[in-house]
Structure 1
Amino acid sequence: MTNFVLVAGTWLGAWAWDEVAAELRSAGHGVHATTLTGLAEKQGVPAGQQTHVQDIVGEVERLDLRDVVLVGHSYAGIPVGQAAVRIGDRLRRVVLMDANVAVDGESFLSGWPSDQVRAAIEENDGFWPPLTAGDYADQGLTDEQITRIVDGCTPHPGGTLTEPAVMARPLSEVPGTYVKCLLDGDEPWGAAAELLKSERWALVNMDTGHWPMFSQPRELAAILHQSVARE
């Protein structure tokens, strides 16, 4: 049985995957939505980048999961990518969902103007404050979905955003799928574009915004199912 380990991006916890998880379970998969340290029900706890990597690796090992598909959304692509190369033959596939790509020595904030984010972390006791409702406009979300996201978000531990990834080998060496959400940009860029040059990686587009687990959960679950069904 395929075991999907689902990890959401900044400010979110396992709760963000409720609808997607239900769809995947109905298709016969094992589903393990994971909350990273410092977020949601684990909020307020300081964490670094390697804390989040260990959260994921530890969940796989604790449950003795095999045939694992690691799914990382947005920021979570960085700890998921590191975990993918650490769990060895337990891994079946990586799915990065409009996500940052783990590159050895690079952090979440590498490669884009981040002074404003760094200042916000410093001003908020080491945590990055969540977005406001207006920031979710034009992302294919209903008002109800936006309210649900805003109400559920918690501040994100800043150390996880500034500390570098540690990759024993490139992510291009493991099989993967990159899901690009078109309302958040027409095509992958930077490290994601480089990753997709690998013969082991495939690109799938979704006509929605950056949070498809809310805007199109059924369609996203179908893509996740198909990512392994077509192997």
Structure 2
Amino acid sequence: MTEFILVPGMFTGAHVWDQTAAALASSGAGVHTVALTGLGGSRGTATDDADLETHIEDVLALIDSVSAGAGRDQQIVLVGHDYGVHPVLGAADRRAEHIGRIVCLDTGPAQDGMPALAAVANPAAREKVAERAGAEGAGRGLAAPARDEWQRWGSTAGIPAAALDRLTALASPQPLRTLLQPLRLTGAVASVPVTGVLCNANGSTIEMVQRRVDLGDPVFLALADPQVSFFELPTGHWPMLSLPAELAEVLLRAAAGEGHRMVPPGSAEPPAHLRPFLLDVPEIPHERIGNVDLYLPEAGGPRPAVVFVHGGPVPAGVRPTPRDWPALRGYARYAAAEGAVGVTLDHRLHDMADYPRAAADVAAAVELVRADPRVDADRIALWFLSGGGLIAADWLRKPPAWLRCLAASYPILVPVPGWGPVDGRFRPVDAVAGAGTLPVVLTRAGRESPEIAATVEEFMAASQKSGANVEVVDVPNGRHAFETLDPTEESREAVHRAMRSVLGHVSH
């Protein structure tokens, strides 16, 4: 028998677990919900002296109570949602021998020394906490969200209207000390198996985590440990309200040791970004100038250029760097074989906060290319891929006359909730209103992750409203990065069509 201890997140009390707890209990499991001190009461009150240590003690008290009555064959599974993972980890670190598994519900495992505030993805929400703490002192509570403000703290997708009303009515101010006090761990918790439950409408998927593992991101490499498993739910940040029965099933499967395991680097099959380009393109030599590579056509005279901008974030230590990945090299060689200068570059998008400096790297690379005598400075195209799509906002807002075309393949065109802070300047969905007659060639992957597909649909709606000149190339059965994942005839034809369109615009 499994004993579940369910710990709520910010502003919320034990009541959020009601339906999921009932479903777990009906399966025969033991269920215990934690009422964290100062939460789950009146909207207008907060316990000023409650901090993270207070909430760790709340969880410890319940662990000790359950352990005292548990049989030898019973296991305790700690489930932490949102902020709740911090007291869960703090308590599990002190009672590791009693814990069979930790479940991180739509939140990452916190690190030693990290305050809960560091895990808040929304920059406006983080600033609000910092301003409140600075103005009134850390002993005061952060006001609970109004009904239309929950989206600041996570996607509300799937929550029924009545449940959102109740969530708002029963929410409590969050004691600021709970967000500002660093989590302290001895390391004992590392022995406890962990399951992550990702909510894809809030911006997290198993596929995305695997990509970060493939890139060698040190934070994500730990998630390839055999003790770590994953599940995914098609909903927003509060699955206990939007999919309570489905969440209960996932928790039972997690307790049984099920779940998806990440493939560690160095496995037999190369990671997606290092697999071959889907087209057989000529081996055209390139020149390397700083962080920029030029693939030069045989045709003489100044030639148009296509600059390919990789996605990210990509950890700083990744080797090979993106400009040497097969897809980027393949695109650049294809452009050169057709008579244009193909350009790749490395930019410094290593974190979601790095968009300004990555955009500066792209702008500098474009100027370097335009200054090259082998390039026709008045015939340039920019082609953005994946997370590089947000950088396109700079070029859509007020396109220069020499920019003849802007292309984007499986792009992110609105910052995704839950991914971390992004400068407000990088919103192509807003910038497209200034695009005028600039041709935009947009390649959509039909099997795109829902959270990225939603940004593309929002961009398309904004484009139609503003009358932007957008051509769509669809790959119905293609995935994100289909050029190396899905080498099908459909994918090849999509690449051909997009390239023909882009080169047609820069060649006139």
When normalised by structure 2's length, the TM-score is 0.43
Q: Counterpart of 2:63 in structure 1: which amino acid?
A: V
Match status 1:95 vs 2:95: no
- Larger Rg computed on CA atoms: 2
Q: Deviation per CA, 1:144-193, whole angstroms, max 9, x where unpaired?
A: 12111111101011101001001110754320100011111033689974
Q: Report the equivalent of 2:158.
A: 140
Q: Report the equivalent of 2:174.
A: 156
Q: Counterpart of 2:132 in structure 1: which amino acid?
A: A
Match status 1:10 vs 2:14: no
Do 1:183 and 1:208's aligned partners in 2 also have CA atoms closer than 8 Å? yes
Q: 2:144 aligns with which of 114, 118, 130?
A: 130
Q: Report the equivalent of 1:180.
A: 198
Q: Report the equivalent of 2:234.
A: 207
**Worse-matched range after superposition: 85-94 or 201-210:** 85-94
Taking a change above 3 Å as real, the CA distance of residues 194 and 151 of structure 1, as seen in their structure-2 partners, is farther
Q: Counterpart of 2:241 in structure 1: which amino acid?
A: F
**Worse-matched range after superposition: 219-228 or 140-149:** 140-149
Match status 1:106 vs 2:114: yes
Could you tell me which runs of 5 or more consecutive residues in structure 1 were left unpaired when the two chains were aligned: none
**Worse-matched range after superposition: 137-146 or 175-184:** 137-146
Q: Distance in 2 between matches of 1:78 and 1:71?
A: 11
Do 2:52 and 2:178's aligned partners in 1 also have CA atoms closer than 8 Å? yes
1:136 CA displacement = 4.0
What is the root-mean-square deviation of aligned Cα atoms in Å? 2.4
Q: Distance in 2 between matches of 1:172 and 1:15?
A: 30
Report 1 or 2 for greater relative contact order, CA contacts < 8 Å, sequence distance ≥ 6.
1
Do 2:3 and 2:76's aligned partners in 1 also have CA atoms closer than 8 Å? yes
Q: Distance in 2 between matches of 1:152 and 1:191?
A: 39
Taking a change above 3 Å as real, the CA distance of residues 55 and 179 of structure 1, as seen in their structure-2 partners, is same
Q: Distance in 1 between matches of 2:146 and 2:84?
A: 20
Q: Report the equivalent of 1:80.
A: 88
1:122 CA displacement = 5.0
Could you tell me which runs of 5 or more consecutive residues in structure 2 were left unpaired when the two chains were aligned: 259-508
Q: Counterpart of 2:46 in structure 1: which amino acid?
A: G
Do 2:52 and 2:87's aligned partners in 1 also have CA atoms closer than 8 Å? yes
Do 1:76 and 1:99's aligned partners in 2 also have CA atoms closer than 8 Å? no
Residue aligned with 2:149, SS = helix
Q: Counterpart of 1:102 in structure 2: which amino acid?
A: A
Do 1:101 and 1:191's aligned partners in 2 also have CA atoms closer than 8 Å? no
1:135 CA displacement = 3.0
Q: Report the equivalent of 2:253.
A: 226
Taking a change above 3 Å as real, the CA distance of residues 186 and 135 of structure 1, as seen in their structure-2 partners, is same
Match status 1:56 vs 2:59: yes
Q: Distance in 2 between matches of 1:27 and 1:59?
A: 21
Q: Distance in 2 between matches of 1:173 and 1:90?
A: 11
Q: Report the equivalent of 2:30.
A: 30
Q: Distance in 1 between matches of 2:204 and 2:132?
A: 28
Q: Distance in 2 between matches of 1:191 and 1:39?
A: 35
Q: Distance in 2 between matches of 1:97 and 1:219?
A: 13
Q: Report the equivalent of 2:455.
A: none
Q: Deviation per CA, 1:47-99, whole angstroms, max 9, x where unpaired?
A: 11111111101111134254110000001111111211211321110001012
Do 2:146 and 2:168's aligned partners in 1 also have CA atoms closer than 8 Å? yes
Q: Report the equivalent of 2:385.
A: none
Corresponding pairs, count:
231
**Worse-matched range after superposition: 130-139 or 140-149:** 130-139
Residue aligned with 1:161, SS = helix
Percent identical residues: 32
Q: 1:169 aligns with which of 187, 196, 208?
A: 187
